Amino acid sequence: AGLMGADHAKIVAEELPGAKLQLICDMDQQRARLVADACGAVDIATDPNGAIARHDVDAVIIASPDFTHAPLSMACIAMGKRVLCEKPLSQSSADCIAVMETEQKAGAKFVQLGFMRRYDRSYQEMKQALDNGHLGRALMMHNFHRNVETPAADFTGAMAITNSAPHEFDVVRYVLGTEYASISAFQPRRSDARVAPVVMV
């Protein structure tokens, strides 16, 4: 029931035909209650595993902090529940692979990640212009990710890679249709206490 969770809840309640917002779960009960009341959810909970296991829950949106995504996605797969999980799937590639292997063993696609740029018309038009030869062959893709302010007070340079850059990782794959060979990351030193920009090649 944080920033993203409240937004997802509103969308499910107001814009998804056929969907019913059954349950808002947050370890902060007050937040869960606030969002549930604002969006007309039937019930609230504070334990995510209990919430995922409930019989009156068919599908799950995970919008809790990054480190919870892989274990909660695994819990959804174990319960046979489809899940829209916010990016990143994990901050560790080993955990990401573990979730993917669990899903493959289960034999169906259960997990979709919150990579919404693929559904953004500008990105779709850019991909189309490349695919139909209108722009010629792509030689380089140059991406910037700017936030007006850092999303959390404890945001680190490493989080620029594990939290923000997954959007670039996804959209480069989507637009160019290629896989990465390697990625190098650089971060200059700043003279003040703020997080310096991270440059990835």
The interface region with ligand NAD, picked from 13-21, 23-31, 99-107, 127-135 by CB under 6 A, is 23-31
Whether 193 contacts 154, CB under 8 Å: no
Interatomic CA distance for residues 179 and 168, integer angstroms: 12
Q: Does 8 bind ligand NAD (CB under 6 A)?
A: no
In the bound complex, what is the minimum distance in angstroms from residue 182's beta carbon to ligand NAD?
24
Q: Does 27 bind ligand NAD (CB under 6 A)?
A: yes
Interatomic CA distance for residues 46 and 159, integer angstroms: 26
- Interface mask toward ligand NAD for 113-152; x: CB under 6 A: -x-x----------------------------------x-
- How many residues of this chain bind ligand NAD (CB under 6 A)? 22
Name every residue whose Cβ is closer than 8 Å to that of residue 200 and which is 6 or more positions away in sequence.
161, 165, 168, 183, 184, 185, 186
- 109 phi/psi in degrees, rounded to 5: -85, 115
Residues that bind ligand NAD (CB under 6 A): 1-5, 25-28, 31, 48, 63-66, 68, 86-87, 114, 116, 151, 163
